[in-house]
Homo-oligomer: A and B are copies of this chain.
């Protein structure tokens, strides 16, 4: 079909192929581009994005960094630094250390949480709600000996899709 001198663009992938190769979902790739984590991409005549190996690696980098909980600002900085191999890696180190500190802080907070929840649950004698220690503990903050700030949030995992039933929002409004 094609002679040897033709250059097949065999390393240029569509967004779907790039998604499969990098493990980042298609809409997320577009979102990252919009957020400035990817450089402006070449397009086909039909306006479709094209990804080379470098972009796919960049996406994998982003994905791994996200799995480690770096936020997009930090990832932007890391990507920028990655482009300057001769600079000192002090900044890289600082970003990673900051993240590590944050993770340790959160572990400590969650352990305090765990302890309090565990106490609560253990104290429950499975009787009437009126006597329930769980409710009582929640109602009266002074019962609890742990006073940590938690910044805890039940968050959807970035890599576990977690099917959720489409619940109707019951937002009541005051009638007027």
- For the complex, give the distance between the alpha carbons of A93 and B86 in Å: 57
Q: 8 Å CB contacts to B: which residues of A108-161?
A: 110-111, 113-114, 116-118, 120-121, 124, 126-132, 134-135, 137-141, 144, 149-160
- For the complex, give the distance between the alpha carbons of A168 and B34 in Å: 15
Which residues of the other chain, B, contact A92 by a CB distance below 8 angstroms? Answer: 124, 129, 132, 134-135
Q: Do the beta carbons of A126 and B89 come within 8 Å of each other?
A: yes
- For the complex, give the distance between the alpha carbons of A107 and B63 in Å: 21
Number of interface residues of A (CB under 8 A): 77
Q: Do the beta carbons of A121 and B107 come within 8 Å of each other?
A: no
Which residues of the other chain, B, contact A114 by a CB distance below 8 angstroms? Answer: 100, 103-104, 107
Where the two chains meet, the residues of A that have a C-beta atom closer than 8 Å to any C-beta of B are 34-36, 40, 57, 60-61, 63-65, 67-69, 71, 78, 81-82, 84-90, 92-93, 96-97, 99-100, 102-104, 106-107, 110-111, 113-114, 116-118, 120-121, 124, 126-132, 134-135, 137-141, 144, 149-160, 170-174
